[in-house]
Amino acid sequence: MFIYNFKVNGGIILRIIIIVLSLFMLGVFLFSIYRIFFTSGKFKVEDTLEAKEITEIEPENYTNVLQAVHDNPDSYIGMKVKFTGYMYRLLDFEDEQFVIARDMFINNDKTQTVVVGFLCQYKDADNFEDGTWVNLTGSIEMGKYHNEEIPIIRVTEIEETAEPANSFVNPPSDTYIPTSGML
């Protein structure tokens, strides 16, 4: 029978463990910095507008684009957009103002909706009644509503159209928190 006797120096092992853990934590930190600053990750809305002559906003990405433009309006100033919605006005709107609106589902069983849309400005907006479905083309600019700077659509072309088969839109990419019924 052979017996091996060796002495373990606790100080050296402790230093090795500390060095290995420090290197591991440094690696995790550097990887996190890389993901935050050099990849898109999940820090941005997925549906953004690409720079091209006129971008058509579809019902599938309507609320994602709406959120992206409101979250970072400077990136979209001057961009031309085209989309379909219905005329929606509030009592405090000026004659030239309206919202190009869609109804967004706010629950899973699709029984409750809220109106969402871009505030628009058009000199002949009063020629269209509330609830009229329109196709419009315009450019994104900054405007004021209740003394707050918000992105608006300055309409260049507008035409009446029929209500589309799918007139509803879904909330933006799992980030929407419904507020109705919370109180």
Highest-pLDDT range among 13-17, 18-22, 110-114: 18-22
- Tens-digit pLDDT profile for residues 74-93: 888 888 999 899 999 999 88
Phi, psi of 43 (to 5 degrees): -95, -5
Q: How far apart are CA 153 and CA 51, in angstroms?
A: 16
Task: Label residue 109 exposed, middle or buried (CB < 10 Å: 0-12, 13-18, 19+).
Answer: exposed
Report the percent of the chain where pLDDT is more than 90: 36
Written as six digits, the tokens of 156 are 């260049």
What is the per-residue pLDDT for 5?
64
- Tens-digit pLDDT profile for residues 17-57: 999 999 999 999 988 888 777 765 444 444 455 555 667 88
Cβ(116)–Cβ(169) under 8 Å? yes
Residue 129 scores a pLDDT above 60: yes
What is the per-residue pLDDT for 159?
94
